């Protein structure tokens, strides 16, 4: 399902590295998103990103997300 503003990843109690890449592999500026870890859930705020397909890399694991209004 597409996400509008936030995406959640379970099983994270610490995040050493996080980055978001667009569909072409270009890294998105860290100023365009924020994240919080609480109770083993990583919450990433993607509200300011344009609609599209993104890849989120967290501690060397990569996830595909779709941002859509």
CB atoms within 10 A of CB 58: 19
* pTM over cut 0.85: yes
pLDDT digits 0-9 by tens, 7-58: 999 999 888 889 999 999 999 988 889 999 999 999 999 999 999 999 999 9
Rounded distance, CA 32 to CA 40, Å? 23
**What letter would DSSP give residue 43?**
E
Q: In this model, does residue 1 exceed pLDDT 80?
A: no
Where b means 16+ CB within 10 Å and e means fewer, 30-48 reads eeebebeeeeeebebebee
Q: What band does 4 get if pLDDT is binned at 50, 70 and 90? A: very high
Q: What is the DSSP string of 4-37?
A: SSEEEEES-S--S-EEEEETTSPBPPGGG-EEEE
């Amino acid at each position: 399902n597409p996400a509008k503003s936030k995406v959640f990843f379970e099983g994270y109690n610490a995040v050493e590295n996080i980055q978001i890449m667009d569909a072409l592999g270009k890294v998105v500026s860290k100023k365009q998103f924020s994240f919080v870890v609480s109770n083993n859930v990583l919450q990433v705020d993607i509200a300011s990103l344009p609609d599209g397909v993104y890849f989120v890399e967290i501690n060397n694991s990569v996830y595909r997300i779709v941002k859509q209004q």
